[in-house]
A and B are shown apart, each in its own frame.
Chain A
Amino acid sequence: EIVLTQSPGTLSLSQGERATLSCRASQSVSSNDLAWYQQKPGQAPRLLIYGASSRATGIPDRFSGSGSGTDFTLTISRLEPGDVAIYYCQQYGSSLLTFGGGTKVEIK
C-alpha cells in the first residue's frame, strides 16, 4: 500500500498570499496518478486536480498541481476566504487507492 504524507498539517496565511501544500508518497506513484481534493466543513470533497497537474472542470486557475514520482505539490496562488478548507491528496497509481491525511488551510 502506498502511504501518502501531507505537510504541513495546518497552513495559516493571509488573504492574497501563496499557499504551497506538499504530498509525499512512500513509493513512486505510477504515471503521476495523483489527485487533489478540497473539503469544506459539512460538505463532500470536491475534485481539484487529477493526473498531478490537470485542473478539473470549473476549477479556477489559482489552483495548480505539480510534481512527479514521490513528491507532489498543490499551489493556491492567491488565497481567498473561500479557500478555507482541508485539502487531501489521493493516489490511484496502484489498485489499492490511498488518501493523505490532509492539510488544513486557514486565513490569518
Chain B
Amino acid sequence: QIQLVQSGGEVKQPGASVKVACKASGYTFIDYGISWVRQAPGQGLEWMGWISSYNGNRNSAQRLHGRFTMTTDTSTNTAYMELNSLRSDDTAMYYCARDHSSGSRAYYFDYWGQGSLVTVSS
C-alpha cells in the first residue's frame, strides 16, 4: 500500500535549521511529485512548496523564498525539506504529501505523511 513515512519531531532554537525526511513506498516514486504543507497549532493548512520527483522542477510559496529548500533522493525514494533561520512562528506540524502532478507544476494531494512536529523555542 502507498505510504509516506516522515521523520520524527524536532525541537530547535530560533535561528537554527531543521530537515525533515519523507520516505515513500508502494508506488513508483518518480511518477509523482511531493508537496510540503504545514499547519501551525490550531490553524489552517499552508502550502509551502512542490518538487517533481521526476525532473527536480520545484516551486515554493513566496513568503518562504530564501529559507526553504526541497530535495529528493530517487535511490531511496525519499524527499527532504529544510527550513533555515527558524523563528517561533515556524512552529508547526509539517506534512509531506504525494502530489498528483506532472513534471511542470503542483496539483492536489492524494496521500499524506503522518506529520512531523517542529517546535521552535529558546
Residues of A near any B CB (own CB < 8 A) = 1, 33, 35, 37, 39, 44-47, 50, 56-57, 88, 90, 92, 95-102
Contacts and interface: CB of A to CB of B under 8 A. Distances in A.
A96 B112 contact: no
A32 to B, nearest CB: 12
A95 to B, nearest CB: 5
B107 interface: yes
Contacts of A101: 44
13 contacts: A33-B107, A33-B108, A37-B109, A39-B45, A45-B37, A47-B108, A47-B109, A50-B108, A50-B110, A57-B110, A96-B62, A99-B46, A99-B47
A47 B110 contact: yes
Contacts of B47: 90, 96-99
Contacts of A46: 112
Contacts of A1: 62
Contacts of A35: 108-109
A37 B114 CA distance: 15
Nearest to A35: B108
Describe A's contact surface by its main secondary structure: loop
A1 B47 CA distance: 12
Nearest to B60: A96
A1 B63 CA distance: 11
Contact of A97 (B50, B95, B100): B50
A18 to B, nearest CB: 24
Nearest to B110: A47
Given A50-B107, A99-B46, 15 more contacts: A33-B107, A33-B108, A35-B109, A37-B45, A39-B45, A44-B113, A45-B95, A57-B110, A88-B45, A92-B105, A95-B59, A96-B47, A96-B59, A97-B50, A99-B44
B44 A56 contact: no
